[in-house]
């Protein structure tokens, strides 16, 4: 195991030199620099980060939750002095962990262990590790370190490896600099994301492997850290992607072949760029590609990708009785016109976040008649489409308000949506207000959250007075309920 570290790193460097890559001295000696695939008979190569995983570290990674538990490898194996005991060990960094090889341990089953990244982070973040007193019985108290664990943190700890995986708690639950509730354990930090409860991701493991490697002085390239909230994506929901990048680095990318908008954010703990992705309903369960291109300040360009896993949601079906006058609006030609107009409006965006906080429901009183994602059939026929927004029944003339700050990128009449307004909120995010009786804004107008922009009607493909309200990320309709209840972007 000791010899494999230097051998793999040297082999990767030689491969790059043979292939003609121009390496700086810092890149040549940095174990975090993307490497070339080594011998596939003994290693697994992760093209996403450009690193090899082999020998006992690979065995441990595969046997203990792998990608879900530790994330991708973000370095090769290398020798490093351990801050805890001052000894030098073979280590390898992952997004959420550091693997260490301890040959001094006689039992080979325990020679690969996890670094005490939680302790390192608590010291770095100046978090109190002073012992606390036991709390109520529904919370577990760990006398060994004198700390309580409860709620979703206790549940996650118990279900995902407990003491062997995370170690003892070394702090009480506290708030970090952004106001998020976190708790430190010997080998990890738990971060609470109650806004992700719908996707069962209300506890996420902080990327302490990345933080520790950066803090240890290793030269870490831009793009070594890609965070996705939530880690997997349900149909019709939205994902925030953050990419760590050095000051002066630039980024571009596409999701399923469509360009996405990026915004620079230099706030700690991970300065870099962020973007938003949306998963359409009924259009592709499984793996989707996020392609990324990063240009470092020195001009070096790196192309890499991440896989976004989309899983199914259970949407109900609806049969809608319609007359011949409305059936004529379902023609392919009119549908193509409508789609082209909506795509053009969805492509009209600014690389800024114009909204702040959660979105406002555009009606003050209403009754939901059709939820987002309901499969829809007409006059008893099997479902042939799905609902891209929320239908909100309200009396004719009810005031419609802007869901968030933005600008008008469409104000006119469409075959199906009737009198319609589309607002751009920046970063590829749009809201759509359809079937209006009156439009109170014009193309190019700026609007603020809660501003009256129109009135409820029944124009276009409509069976009664209501507002059809959509939220779109890029060209993809997503569930408006999520944007009413979740403050995007996450992680601030």
Cα–Cα distance, 171 to 94 (Å, whole number): 23
Supply the pLDDT for residue 398: 98
pLDDT band at 6 (very low <50, low <70, confident <90, very high): very low
| pLDDT in the model for residue 2 | 39
Mean pLDDT, range 456-484, rounded to an integer: 95
> CA of 102: how far to CAs of 57, 82, 383, 479, in Å?
11, 11, 60, 49
pTM of the model: 0.87
pLDDT band for position 83 (50/70/90)? confident
| pLDDT tens string 99-130 | 999 999 988 888 999 999 999 999 999 999 99
For the segment 383-389, the average pLDDT, to the nearest whole number, is 77
| pLDDT band of 29, cuts 50, 70, 90 | low
pLDDT score recorded for residue 154: 96
pLDDT in tens, 213-246: 999 999 999 999 999 999 999 999 999 999 999 9
Looking at residue 17, what is its pLDDT? 39
Per-residue pLDDT, 11? 45
Is the pLDDT score of 328 beyond 70? Answer: no
Q: Regarding the domain with residue range 222-311, which homologous superfamily does it belong to in the CATH classification? A: Immunoglobulins (2.60.40.10)
Q: What is the mean pLDDT of residues 379-395?
A: 80
Q: For the residues 478-484, what does the mean pLDDT come to?
A: 96
Cβ–Cβ under 8 Å, residues 468 and 480: no
Location of structure tokens 């009156």: 438
Computed over every residue of the chain, the mean pLDDT equals: 89
Higher pLDDT: 373 or 477? It is: 477
CATH number for domain 317-485, candidates 2.70.70.10, 3.20.20.110, 3.60.110.10, 3.30.1390.10: 2.70.70.10
pLDDT of res. 24? 37
Give yes or no for residue 137 having a pLDDT over 50.
yes
Counting residues of the chain whose pLDDT is more than 70, the rounded percentage is: 89
Bridge pairing between strands 452-456 and 399-401: antiparallel
> Facing residues of 205 across strands?
190
Domain ranges of the chain: 1-115, 117-221, 222-311, 317-485
**Structure confidence by residue, pLDDT tens digits, 308-323:** 999 998 887 776 676 6
Give the model's confidence band at 144: pLDDT under 50 very low, under 70 low, under 90 confident, else very high: very high
| Reported confidence tier of residue 58, pLDDT bands at 50, 70, 90 | very high
């Amino acid at each position: 195991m000791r010899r494999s570290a230097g051998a793999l790193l040297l082999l990767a460097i030689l491969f790059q030199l043979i292939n003609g890559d121009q390496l700086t001295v810092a890149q040549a000696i940095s174990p975090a620099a993307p490497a070339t695939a080594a011998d596939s008979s003994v290693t697994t190569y992760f093209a996403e980060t450009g690193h090899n995983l082999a020998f006992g570290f690979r065995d441990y990674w595969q046997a203990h939750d792998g990608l879900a538990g530790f994330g991708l490898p973000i370095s090769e194996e290398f020798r490093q002095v351990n801050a805890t005991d001052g000894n030098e060990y073979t280590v390898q960094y992952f997004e959420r962990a550091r693997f260490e090889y301890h040959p001094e341990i006689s039992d080979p089953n325990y020679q690969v262990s996890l670094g005490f990244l939680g302790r390192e982070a608590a010291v770095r973040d100046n978090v109190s590790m002073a012992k606390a007193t036991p709390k109520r019985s529904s919370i577990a108290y760990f006398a060994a370190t004198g700390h309580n664990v409860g709620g979703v943190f206790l549940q996650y700890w118990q279900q995902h490896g407990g003491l062997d995986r995370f170690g003892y708690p070394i702090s009480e639950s506290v708030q970090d600099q952004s106001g998020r509730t976190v708790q430190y354990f010997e080998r990890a930090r738990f971060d609470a994301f109650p806004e992700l409860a719908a996707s069962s991701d209300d506890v996420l493991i902080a990327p302490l492997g990345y933080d520790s490697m950066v803090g240890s002085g290793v030269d870490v390239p831009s793009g070594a850290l890609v965070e996705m909230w939530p880690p997997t994506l349900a149909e019709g929901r939205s994902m925030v992607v953050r990419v760590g990048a050095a000051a002066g680095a630039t980024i571009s990318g596409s999701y399923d072949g469509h360009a996405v908008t990026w915004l620079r954010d230099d706030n700690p703990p991970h300065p870099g760029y962020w973007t938003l992705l949306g998963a359409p309903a009924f259009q592709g369960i499984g793996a989707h590609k996020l392609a990324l291109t990063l240009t470092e300040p020195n001009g070096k360009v790196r192309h890499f990708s991440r896989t976004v896993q989309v899983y199914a949601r259970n949407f109900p079906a609806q049969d809608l009785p319609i007359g011949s006058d409305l059936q004529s609006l379902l023609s392919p030609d009119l549908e193509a016109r409508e789609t082209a107009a909506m795509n053009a409006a969805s492509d009209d965006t600014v690389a800024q976040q114009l909204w702040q906080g959660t979105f406002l429901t555009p009606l003050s009183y209403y009754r939901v008649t059709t939820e987002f994602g309901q499969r829809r059939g007409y006059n008893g026929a099997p479902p042939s489409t799905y609902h891209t927004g929320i239908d909100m029944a309200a009396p004719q003339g009810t005031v419609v308000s802007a869901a968030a700050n933005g600008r008008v990128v469409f104000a006119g009449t469409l075959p199906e949506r009737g009198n319609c307004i589309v607002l751009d909120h920046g970063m590829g995010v749009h809201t759509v207000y359809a079937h209006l009786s009156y439009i109170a804004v014009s193309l190019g107008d700026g609007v603020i959250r809660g501003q009256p922009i129109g009135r409820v009607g029944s124009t276009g493909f409509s069976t009664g007075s209501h507002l059809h309200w959509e939220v779109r990320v890029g060209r993809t309709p997503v569930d408006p309920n999520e944007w009413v209840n979740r403050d995007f972007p996450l992680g601030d």
